[in-house]
Amino acid sequence: MKPRLRDRLGLRLAFVLLVTLIGVGALQYVLVSGRLQDDLVAAESATHAADARSIERAMRESEGRADALGEATELLVAIQSRPYVTEAVLVDWHGRVVAAAEPDELGDTEDEPQIMQAVRDRRTFDAVDAFEGEGEVDDQSYSYIAPVYARHHNYALEIEQDRIHLAGNVGGVRTRTLVALGLSLLLGLVLFHLLGGRQVDRLYRLALDRARRDGLTDLGNHRAFDEELAAAVASAHRSGAPLALAVFDVDDFKFLNDEHGHRHGDDVLVRVAGLLRAARASDRGFRLGGDEFVLLMPGADAASAVAAISRLLDAARSSLGGATLSAGICAATSPDGDELWEQADRALNEAKRRGGDCVVDAGWINPSKDSAVPMSKVRAVRSIIADADVEVVFQPIWDLDGRYVLSYEALARPRTLHGLDGPGEAFAIADRIGRAHELDAICRAAALDGASALPSGALLFLNVAPGTLAREDFAADALAAEVVAAGLRPRDVVLEITERSEARLDTVVAEMERLAEAGFQLALDDVGAGNAGLEMLRSAAVDYVKIDRSIVQAAPTDPRARAVLHGILVFARGVDAYVIAEGIEAEPLLDFLRSPVVDGTAPSIHGAQGFLLGRPKPLAAQDPSPLAPAPA
């Protein structure tokens, strides 16, 4: 990429040096020229003052007035013989020329105010503009006027000089000053270049380049990607050519690191970077962080992009030492950069859901399921995430046996829906555009902030999306640090993971194990609403099972729902999990759930949650009354 002028520190420093030298030289030029002119005028004034004193002495030493004027005339002739003097006259009290170097000037009248003032007040005037005729200034000459006192009379000596004399002296110095300035500029720039300018510029450009590159793989980083994506989108708009974006990550990279160590993981990332460099000459690869890579493909339509990425994935199987890649692609003509990125990321998520080691084009995804989201609602979700515009309320969960509040579940919702149908739609759209983890993090932070008023002994139920657990940048120890910073302990927090997720089960279960090792309790949420609940119960050790409200509310009247409820209870009892029924909104349902039996055994539902037992509101507004005892 060709460096821009603003990125060339050497040129910028040289420009600053050049401007500084020119400024100093211009100031010197003005000051020296002005001072020189003043000095020349002062020197000539001193010379002509001496001429006036000489005329005074000659006239005083003469025997009579006529003889005195004769002596003065001789001196005036000598003065006018100087090469730059054009006129020398002596003027009396009445303004008449009484002595002159040129005889034809005798008897002329001089009425310039400076001459008359010099006669009357004995004042000296330096470099006065000379007059040619009445009221007209002669811009080719100037005069020096000095008082002369001799034989009890006041006179004025006027010496007129050619202005070219003064201008020539000043102009010569100015010319030499400009030449010296030009030479100093040239010398300064040459010395700057030789004594470090080149090195400074090289190091600065190197630092700029390193700031835009990933330290491990030497690919462009996120900053470079943002800049080049914007440039590529602008170019596609101008030319109407297609632009494709491919997003990659390494399948099961966490487990690769855990099994073989981080050094092996770094080696895999470096090899992935090599595969991206070996792509088409026009393509540009970037590492955004972790194991996430992107490939910017100017001029590629969907078909050619899929073909190129399929070849890249084939090469990955043979060169990554057993590791594989998943890729998502989006191609468009005159694309929107944000939408291109989000659609490619969504295609990558679909590739991961399909088991990885494959490429998915965003155009292949079922529109009725994944793509039919109006851009107005996508922008609404982006706005909520950008502004962290969420609020948190808390709903109590009661222990049916002890009839006390076991815990409070933190429920986050946007303050402003921006046209969305509800909080559920906001989370669903965030998941579709690949930003569920960001909304999840914002809600989690708000919940922990609001949990400072949690009653002593009460647990906090906190929702965590399975898709968040499956991300490379999620870490159990980081979440534990967030909880501790909020004034809680990990064992005081129950993390709810819903079964309604398309994230890979093995990845979610492995992260759940890490969370349990970090001290958190775990709850499986919405059990019965999907197909993965019993499989997750079989695969992951959980402390709590929350039965979905649809099963709970249908169980009293629907034999099938009741059978599902009993099946969940049997499974939960087998894994020694605490069972919570959701959606309790009426007393008859609560009565039904107080003592359900499984195969004639003791009650199996331990806790309950719903509007009957407490509505969601801030902790400070909670005032739970003891749960009424079960009827006899």
Please list the active-site residues: 291
Quote the tokens at residue 599. 């195969």
121: exposed, middle or buried (C-beta count within 10 Å: 0-12, 13-18, 19+)? exposed
DSSP alpha helix (H) spans, 366-422: 375-387
Cα gap 531→171, rounded to integer Å: 97
Q: Kindly state the helix (H) or strand (E) to which residue 562 belongs, with its residue range.
A: helix 559-574
Phi, psi of 473, deg, nearest 5: -85, 5
How many other β-carbons are positioned within 10 Å of the β-carbon of residue 618? 12
Residue 106, amino acid = L
Which amino acid is it at 101?
A
- Listing DSSP states for 430-480 in one string gives HHHTT-HHHHHHHHHHHHHHHGGGPPTT-EEEEE--HHHHTSTT--HHHHH
Given a contact cutoff of 8 angstroms between Cβ atoms, the answer to whether 250 and 272 are in contact is yes
* Cα distance between residue 315 and residue 324, in whole Å: 9
Three-state DSSP at 88 gives strand
Alpha helices per DSSP H over 151-301? 163-192, 198-211, 222-239, 253-260, 262-277
Q: Which of 153, 126, 155, 154 is nearest to 142 (CA)?
A: 126
Instruction: Report which of 99, 142, 90, 144 is spatially closest to residue 119, judged by C-alpha positions.
Output: 90
Closest CA to 227 of 213, 241, 240: 213
Residues in Cβ contact with 267 at an 8 Å cutoff, skipping those fewer than 6 apart? 321
**Strand partners of residue 390:** 414
